[in-house]
Amino acid sequence: MDVALISDTHIPSRASRIPDPFRERIEAADHVIHAGDFDSEGALSNVRATAARLTAVGGNMDPRIGLPARATVELGGVAFVVTHGTGSKRGYEDRVANAVREEAGAAAVGVSGHTHEVLDTTHGGVRLLNPGSATGAAPAERATMMTVTARDGEFDVTVHEA
C-alpha cells in the first residue's frame, strides 16, 4: 500500500497550488492522508479529485469545511491516527501522541501537521510523522511531503522536497 502524506496546503491564502511533482505522487498513491489546513473548500475538492482515496482532518484554518478533528485509518496493516496538532509549539508532540493513544493506542502511528516542519520521531512510545507543508507555506522553508509504503504492519517513510 503506497500512501501519500500531506498537510498545510493553505490554498489560496498562502499558495496557489500543490507543486506538480507532489500532485503526481498524490495521483499515484493508493491512499492520501491530509493532516489539515486545506484553507478552502476548493482546495479540499481538488485533493479529493486527485486522490484515489482520502483520509483528511480539519486544521485551525479549516473551521467551515466539514472535516473531523481526528480520523483513524488502517492501511497495509498499519493504523494511522490523523490530527492537525493545533496549538502552541510547546507541547506539540505530547498533544499528538496523546491523541494517538486516545484513538488507537501506542501501536498506531500519528500523522499531524500545523508546524509546517517535517517530523519523524518517536515520542512517549508513539511514532509521529509530520509531512510539513505541501506547498511550502510560511513558515516552511520549502515544500515537503512524505510517502509511506505499508505492508503487513511494517512501513517505510520517505520525505520529498519540491
Look up the CATH number of the domain holding residue 152: 3.60.21.10
- d(C-alpha 160, C-alpha 144), whole Å: 6
Q: What is the pLDDT of residue 106?
A: 80
When pLDDT is averaged across residues 27-32 and rounded to a whole number, the result is: 98
Of 6, 36, 5, residue with least CA distance to 150: 5
pTM exceeds cut of 0.75: yes
Q: Are 46 and 73 in contact (CB under 8 A)?
A: no
The string of DSSP letters for 105-155 reads -TTSEEE--SS-SEEEEEETTEEEEEE--TT--TT-SS-EEEEEEEETTEE
Whole-angstrom Cα Rg for the chain: 14
Whether residue 10 is predicted with pLDDT greater than 90 in this model: the reply is yes
| Structural domains in the chain (count) | 1
Q: How many beta carbons lie within 10 A of that of residue 36, not counting itself? A: 28
**Where in the sequence is the domain holding 48, given as residue range(s)?**
2-161
Angle CA(13)–CA(18)–CA(22) in degrees, nearest 5? Answer: 155
At 125, is the secondary structure helix, strand, or coil?
coil
In the beta sheet, which residues pair with residue 155?
150
> 11: which 3 cell numbers?
490554498
Q: What is the pLDDT of residue 53?
A: 98
> 87: which 3 cell numbers?
496549538
Q: What is the pLDDT of residues 56-101, one digit of tens each?
A: 999 999 988 999 999 999 999 999 999 999 999 999 999 999 999 9
Whether residue 125 is predicted with pLDDT greater than 90 in this model: the reply is yes
